[in-house]
Amino acid sequence: MWYVLEYSLTGCRILDRVFNKKPATILVYGPAGAGKTTLLLHISRRLSCHGEKALFISTEGLQYQPRVSMHPDWFRNILFTEIDCFDKQLDFVLRTIPFTRYKYIFFDTINSLYRLEAYREDSIEKLGLVLAILCSHVIECNGLLIASAQVRAIEDEREFIASGMKILEYWFDVIARLERVDGKRVLTIVKPSSYRDIAIEYSITDKGIMWIGC
């Protein structure tokens, strides 16, 4: 059964129709600089300001730190941790997630370490196991998993897709693409089909994401 949060998860009325239900798994993907980390921090900050505790896992080193350090009080209920290799990612999820008290989990990015070892025969199985454990946890806790994903170019540099998308789209209820279109930053819903191709313009400010016309 899905439950609607009592407050706005994103600050955007249109997006909340898609994002504001739990349990749910949400994936955002896009090229470097599109605002994936900023969006995850934006949502985690809103949860924290409503007194919710969350776990923020980074495979991007301390990329999140400059924004957090500007307004540390906004993130007082968020536990940040970093993981630097694929095997450690799997080990952390196996040994920690099933026993954690956090029902809101942010993963930035879910596939970056997988990309480095995608040539290994067992890499797809490892990524699948990581996703299965994370998804089972948020369903059991009636929580949310919100992850970002890196992309690779297809056909030409103007087209891109998340690395490991076939397995990612199996596990995530909601998928959104972040990109620049005609010089504007745009978030487009890819999944579910009932909201597919809904596009929302946004900008990135010192305070995080600002939705335009939303």
In the chain the domains, ranked by start, together with CATH numbers, are: 3-212 (3.40.50.300)
**Which H/E stretch holds residue 148?**
strand 144-149
Residue 6 and residue 15: Cα distance in Å, rounded? 15
Please give the C-alpha separations between residue 82 and each of 63, 69, 177, in angstroms, as whole numbers: 10, 16, 24
Q: For residues 172 and 25, is the Cβ–Cβ distance under 8 A?
A: yes
Give the residue from 197, 147, 149 showing the smallest Cα distance to 173: 147
Question: pLDDT-based confidence at 81, cuts 50/70/90?
Answer: very high
β-bridge mates for residue 23, sequence order: none
Residue the block writes with tokens 């948020």: 138
pLDDT digit string, tens, across residues 22-57? 889 999 999 988 999 999 999 999 999 999 999 999
Residue 139 and residue 129: Cα distance in Å, rounded? 15
Q: What is the per-residue pLDDT for 158?
A: 59
Residue 155 has pLDDT above 60, yes or no: no
